[in-house]
Amino acid sequence: MTKKEEIKVILAYIAVCIIWGSTYLAIRIGVSAFPPELFAGIRFLVAGAIMLLFAYTKGERLPQSFTDIKRQSIIGLLLLLGGNGLLVWAEQWVYSGIASLLFAIVPLFNAVLELFLLNGPRISLPGWLGLFLGFGGVALLVMMDSGTKAVDVSGVLLVLLAALFWSVGSVYSQRFKTAGSTVMNIGIQMLSGGIGLISAGLFLGEAALVQWTVRGVGAMLYLILFGSLLGYSSFIYVLQKWPASKAGTYAYINPLVGVFLGAVILGEPVSFNVLISAVIVLSGVLLVQLSKTSRRMDVKKAL
């Protein structure tokens, strides 16, 4: 990777850290005025259509086979229907700041999943220490606040399950290369995820609950423009350049942004525990980012 590419990856990583940190707040606002799965589904359906239209006008190339399209659709369903869909559902009961903290388990899931892949990337001992340290900071906050209304047990389980789906989608996306352009592939992922989410919303009877309010539409527009078009595109780009375990460390920065915005805009409670957790989480990020990744040697080649 050239110096110019490295700078672009770092900038994309920073964008994901900040923008997706703010999406937890937007989601919390949105689901207070709009049924969750349809809210998320419309977001990704519109964003996916815009992305595909943009790619088409620029002459970007579509995937060359049905297999490639199917793979991109699976990624979209894992990340957006499974990951984002469960997260949005959980934020009906979980504060946006707490949800962002819980989602920080993504890098740990990524690293564990990659451990079982042949020739998959792995991180050094300091990196593992960083992952556990970061997760420990999140776990500490959850345990210390479990007796308050800030943490809903069922909501916590949903967020953790959402993180697992997101990790599976992230790792799966790195197991193959497709012939289509990145922009086209992102559009297909968003479109498939949006269709899946809308289908889930209709199945759950959310159509009867739809109310077009300024609050809900405003949150949706923010998520379409920033969370989906800019943030999601940046995330996919980072995944193409870094191992999933390293790219996923954005989830450690998101909580700091999410907790801050939740407290300032929605008045969500922030205790001293949050500050302690923030220090631990940032320390974990530093260790993971400084650690070098390596690939497990193929046994036959080694012999």
Any residues with CB less than 8 A from the CB of 24 and at least 6 apart, and which? 91, 96, 97, 99, 100, 103, 254, 258, 261, 262
- Torsions phi, psi for 121 (to 5 deg): -65, 150
For residues 128 and 189, the model is more confident at 189
Give residue-wise pLDDT tens across range 62-112: 887 888 999 999 999 999 999 999 999 999 988 898 888 888 788 778 877
Give the N- to C-terminal CA distance of the chain in Å, as an integer.
30
Q: Which two tokens stand for residue 108?
A: 């740990």
The pLDDT of residue 301 is 30
pLDDT above 90: percentage of residues in the chain? 39
* Torsion sign, CA atoms 114, 116, 122, 124: positive
Among candidate residues 156, 134, 110, the one with its CA nearest the CA of residue 253: 134
**Where in the chain are the domains?**
3-302
The strand pairing partners of 294, in sequence order, are 122
Which pair of structure tokens corresponds to residue 107? Answer: 């890098």
| The amino acid at 262 | G
Q: Residue 212: how many CB atoms within 10 A of its CB?
A: 9
Name the residue among 259, 251, 218 with its Cα closest to residue 96.
Answer: 259
Report CA torsion sign: 130, 136, 142, 145: negative
Per-residue tokens: 222:
């923010």
